[in-house]
Copies of this chain bind each other. A is one copy, B any other.
Amino acid sequence: MLSIVSPSKAFELITKKCTKRVHDFSVLHISQSLGCVLAENVVSKIDIPGFDRSMIDGYAVRACDTFGASESMPSMLRLAGSVRMGESPVFELAPGECAFIPTGGQLPKGADSAVMQEYCQAPDSQTVIIEKPVAPGDHLIFRGDEVSSGLTLLESGTVINSGHIGAMASAGIPSVTVFRRPVVGIISTGDELVPAGSELSGAQMFDVNSDTLAACVREALGEPEVYGIIPDDADLLLAAAKEALIKCDMLIISGGSSVGLEDQTANIINRLGSPGVFLHGIAIKPGKPTIAGLVDDKPVFGLPGHPLSAFVVFKLFVAPLIRMMAGARKDERFPLRCALASDIASNHGREEIVMVKIEKREQRLIAHPLHAKSGMIGVLSSADGYIMVDRDAEGILENSEVDVYPI
């Protein structure tokens, strides 16, 4: 019999035992890659910019031709041509010459700097008067200044956002290799459960976990595979779990609330294969009756049947593992520093997860605890994040600063 472990020990056990990662990948056009996990380092094949460019609208010049120029003693240069966007200038600047250049235009040969338009005048179509000196390199960006060919732009494991797509597009990278999402099977069990949309009869309850955990899996970068409600019968559950493990990379069985079902789930995981259950019970509230095991190298979780408990355990322990299996780097969602809106009672024996709703009041963030008074549905419908209250904590007073972890 395994003993109950602390939440941090549970997390360590899960991440140490469950080391399998998704290796299959596909190649997508970058426009289709939003939210996918990079399966390769993205390396620039080009210098950026690809040529020496002007950063201003004005005139490309040889800096030495402008030395000492001022409003009262301007330099007078001959206009040798005009640089057009997207075209390499075909002319060169000789001493005493300049050329009109737009922002982003390619510097003509012979030029080594650019002068801003507002310091120039063009009395006729041949002549440009320069009223301010420039030094070589002024107002230019040189080939490769921003990115040189061979530089890594994005690392494998990046979860692609719009900025990443921008970086790839800037380097002209049209397509990208991304990991397949891990497939997570979801089984609900409990004789009292019926699907949403049914009429409730007797003391039945709706199956909440199938749809909720499926959405949680998607948020955690997985692909859910819902097997629906399996009757609370060891042989039926074993058969369903076996079938699911053929297709899925991970399996979640959320128990009904029947007495003894927790042990039944542990038995089923052990019967499915070895090494079997490695974690049974976490000293956390809610979520104590949580089971984790491995069947061959596939993680199998037994989550509490109570939807709020299953939700909390999923967010804390299962979601980070799915993200890891998906190849994503460490989850970098940052805690929000909030002021607590009302006292949290002292806590005895188990670390407690208190869900909160965040309110922005002027420049402050206020965290409203949702636990006791909101009920399960209030918590599920309103939670923005959670606070962790230490084991045997003395309670947290109103207005204390707390770290809220986004869900």
Binding site for B on A (CB under 8 A): 30-31, 34, 46, 48-51, 53, 57, 84-88, 102-106, 145-147, 153-154, 161-175, 190-193, 195-198, 200, 202-208, 210-212, 214-216, 218-219, 226, 232, 256-259, 305, 307-308, 311, 332, 334-337, 358, 360, 363, 365, 375-384, 403, 407
A86 and B202 contact, CB distance less than 8 A: yes
A117 to chain B, nearest CB (A): 9
B51 and A257 contact, CB distance less than 8 A: no
Instruction: Choose from B84, B203, B337, B379 the contact partner of A105 (Cβ within 8 Å).
Output: B203
A85 and B191 contact, CB distance less than 8 A: yes
Chain B contacts for A84, CB-based, 8 A: 191
B258 and A211 contact, CB distance less than 8 A: no
A118 to chain B, nearest CB (A): 13
Chain B contacts for A195, CB-based, 8 A: 174
B153 and A377 contact, CB distance less than 8 A: yes
B164 and A381 contact, CB distance less than 8 A: yes
B88 and A166 contact, CB distance less than 8 A: no
A203, closest chain B residue (CB)? B106
Q: A102-B258, A102-B259 are in contact. List 16 more A-B contacts (CB 8 A).
A: A31-B211, A34-B215, A48-B377, A85-B258, A86-B203, A86-B205, A87-B202, A88-B203, A105-B203, A106-B203, A161-B219, A166-B215, A169-B196, A170-B376, A172-B198, A334-B365
Chain B contacts for A360, CB-based, 8 A: 332, 334
A334 and B358 contact, CB distance less than 8 A: yes
How many copies of this chain are found per oligomer? 2
A192 and B376 contact, CB distance less than 8 A: no
A104, closest chain B residue (CB)? B257
A154 and B334 contact, CB distance less than 8 A: no
Instruction: Choose from B48, B104, B174, B335 the contact partner of A192 (Cβ within 8 Å).
Output: B104
Roughly how many angstroms separate A204 CA and B192 CA in the complex, as a whole number? 66
A217 to chain B, nearest CB (A): 9
Chain B contacts for A193, CB-based, 8 A: 86
A156 to chain B, nearest CB (A): 14
Instruction: Choose from B102, B196, B226 the contact partner of A30 (Cβ within 8 Å).
Output: B196
Q: List 12 A-B contacts (CB under 8 A).
A: A30-B196, A31-B211, A50-B200, A102-B258, A146-B375, A161-B407, A163-B383, A166-B308, A166-B381, A170-B208, A170-B307, A172-B198
Roughly how many angstroms separate A34 CA and B103 CA in the complex, as a whole number? 44
Given contacts A146-B375, A167-B380, A365-B334, contact A88 B162 (CB under 8 A): no
Chain B contacts for A259, CB-based, 8 A: 57, 102-103
5 closest A-B pairs (Cβ-Cβ)?
A86-B192, A174-B197, A106-B203, A162-B215, A146-B375
A200, closest chain B residue (CB)? B50
A215, closest chain B residue (CB)? B162
Chain B contacts for A31, CB-based, 8 A: 210-211, 214-215, 226
- Counting chain B CB atoms within 10 Å of each CB, the highest count among A102, A163, A358 belongs to A163
Roughly how many angstroms separate A407 CA and B166 CA in the complex, as a whole number? 14
Roughly how many angstroms separate A194 CA and B349 CA in the complex, as a whole number? 64
- Counting chain B CB atoms within 10 Å of each CB, the highest count among A257, A258, A358, A377 belongs to A377
Chain B contacts for A363, CB-based, 8 A: 403
Roughly how many angstroms separate A46 CA and B170 CA in the complex, as a whole number? 54
Roughly how many angstroms separate A273 CA and B168 CA in the complex, as a whole number? 36
Chain B contacts for A191, CB-based, 8 A: 84-86
Chain B contacts for A358, CB-based, 8 A: 332, 334
Given contacts A34-B219, A86-B205, A208-B166, contact A375 B147 (CB under 8 A): yes
Chain B contacts for A335, CB-based, 8 A: 365
Chain B contacts for A163, CB-based, 8 A: 212, 311, 379-383, 407
